[in-house]
Structure 1
Amino acid sequence: MTKHQKRLSVPKSWPVERKTETFTVKAGAGPHGQAGVPLVVLLRDVLGYVDSKKEARYAIERSSVLVNGDSPSDEQRPIGMFDILSFPERDEYYRVFPDEGGRLALTAIDEDAAGSKLAKIEDKTQVAGERTQLNFHDGGNLLVDDASEYDAKDSVVVSNDDNEIVAHFPYEEGCLVTAVRGTHAGDVGEVTDIEVTPGSGSNGVIVEGEDGTFETVEEYVVVIDENFTGDDAEASGGDAE
């Protein structure tokens, strides 16, 4: 199996230039599925902190870069939406946040904000011991004793240290969301109406943003709060050279 990925066929969320070279690094096994961007691509092509996979591997071995508070297993570890990248030696911290067009960008955050991660609840599963498993957008999950207050499409903030939920944002009219896919990817606004579609079709969502009202589907939005918009921080991202 090839260890490389053709740039022309990478997911639209990857922040790489598609026409400058033929290949880029292929993502390894891990969270976020095929949409996950290899860590080395962010370190080399977006941030410019390393020049090669070898340098990226060295930085990982020295714990110079952490992902969600932990040392990643290798330089091809997939990085995706809402992951936290920390560079303790540089005192730099970033949240992976959807940018215009759905590309993933790095939004600078402070050290306190880097201690937890936002996760969208995809669904709930009953497990042994009368506990409930919350299944998240990135493939992760969390066991809770009482899941009655949590619903699919809600968002939670999970602490990196003890894997405990420290905040909960229900999906409901009036909540703040960001679109992560579709025509309005990267737009932020308040949900003004949820249009329930009969049958198995996707429910529609009307969102009031700074630049006007837009409509999308529930699967394309994630509930956030004002601390996750990155309005007060400098962002990095876009196409990498």
Structure 2
Amino acid sequence: MSNHQKRLSAPNSWPIERKEETFTVKAGAGPHGESGVPLLIVLRDVLGYVDSRKEARYALDHGSVLVNGKAVSDEARPVGMFDILAFAEREEYYRVFPGEGGRLSLTPIDEEAASSRLGKVAGKTQVAGGDFQYTLHDGTTLVSDDGSYAGGDSLVVDNETKEVVAHFPYEEGALVTAVTGGHAGEIGTIEEITVTAGSGTNAVAVAQDDSEADSASDGDGEAVEPGFETIEEYVVVIDENFTDGGDDE
């Protein structure tokens, strides 16, 4: 199987130039599915810490690059939405966050915030013994005796203990960010959740203030309230301090 991925056919979330070269590195097996970005692309194309795959392998062999608190040795290991990247020797910490157009970008955070990461609950089942198993947006699972978390909620998980340290319910009034679609990277508050009957997806109306969106006007030049509509699969509940590098709790 080829270790290369054509740039033009790479997922839109990959932060790469499409026309500079024909190929780029292919993501290995791991979390985030097809949207996961190989760590090499982050190190080389985004941060500029290495110039080649060989340099990336050398850096990773020294255990100085951590993803969600764990040292990574595979340069093809996929990273994705809300992962925490730590470079201990540089004392640099980043959270993977949605940027304009759905491209993944890195938000600098402090060391304390880097000790945990956020996950959107994508599935929930009860297991033997009465505990609950939760599947997060990146495919990882955790087991808890707390059955109050629901699909669409966000959980902040400690990277070391794997315990839930914060819970943000998916509900009207919650602060969210769009992670894909035409409004990827935008932040606002859920104004209304419209439940669609049958197998259709639910719609979400998100309100924004002037600090979250540019002013808008209708076709007659009248000002309209800023905000957007999307589907609930495209939004994730976040904390008010989530984008400024502070603690998630």
Q: TM-score range with shorter-chain normalisation?
A: over 0.9
Paired with 2:23 and 2:200, the residues of 1 have a C-alpha distance of 38
What residue is the counterpart of 1:230 in the other structure?
244
The one-character-per-residue Cα deviations of 1:27-54 (angstroms, maximum 9, x if unpaired) are 0010001100000100001100011111
Give ranges in structure 2 of 5+ residues lacking alignment.
Answer: 214-225
> Partner residue of 1:201?
200
Between 60-69 and 23-32, the greater mean CA deviation after superposition: 60-69
For residue 132 of structure 1, report the CA deviation from its aligned partner: 1.1
Counterpart position of 1:166: 165
The CA deviation at 1:56 is 0.9
1:128: how far off? 2.0
Query: Aligned runs of 1:33-72 on 2, under 5 Å?
Result: 33-72=33-72
Uncovered stretches (5+) of structure 1, i.e. residues with no partner: 233-241
TM-superposed CA distance for 1:129, in Å, is 2.0
Correspondences of 1:96-135 after superposition (within 5 Å)? 96-135=96-135
Residue aligned with 1:121, SS: strand
2:3 aligned residue: 3
What is the count of residue pairs matched by the alignment? Answer: 231
TM-score w.r.t. structure 2 length?
0.91
Q: Quick one: distance in 2 between partners of 1:76 and 1:118?
A: 22
Partner of 1:17: 17
Query: For the residues of structure 1 that align with 2:114 and 2:58, how far apart are their CA atoms?
Result: 23
Secondary structure of the structure 2 residue equivalent to 1:63 = coil
Tell me the CA shift for residue 226 of structure 1: 1.5
Distance 1:9 1:82 in 2: 23
- Indicate yes or no: 2:234 matched with 1:220: yes
Q: Which has the higher contact order (CA 8 A, sep 6+)?
A: 1
Cα drift, residue 12 of structure 1: 0.3
CA contact (8 A) 2:98 2:104 kept: yes
Larger of the two Rg values belongs to structure: 2
Residue 152 of structure 2 corresponds to 153
Q: Give the corresponding residue for 1:185.
A: 184
Alignment TM-score, normalising by the size of structure 1: 0.94
SS in 1 for 2:70: coil
Hey, what does 1:27 align to over in structure 2?
27
Q: Which runs of 4+ in 1 moved over 3 A?
A: none
**2:233 alignment partner, SS class:** helix
1:116-145 deviation per Cα after TM superposition (whole angstroms, max 9, x unaligned): 000000010122222210000000010011
1:64, distance to aligned residue in structure 2 (A): 1.5
Structure 1: how far apart are the matches of 2:44 and 2:105? 14
- For residues 125 and 48 of structure 1, the distance between their equivalents in structure 2, rounded to whole angstroms, comes to 42
77 and 231 in structure 1: CA distance in 2 versus 1, 3 angstrom threshold: closer
C-alpha deviation, 1:231, in angstroms: 7.7
| Partner Cα separation in structure 1 for residue 20 and residue 242 of structure 2 | 32
CA displacement, residues 79-137 of structure 1 (integer Å, 9 cap, x when unaligned): 00000000011110000000111000000000000000000000101222222100000
SS in 1 for 2:59: helix
Alpha-carbon separation, structure 1, partners of 2:55 and 2:241: 33
Cα RMSD (Å): 1.1
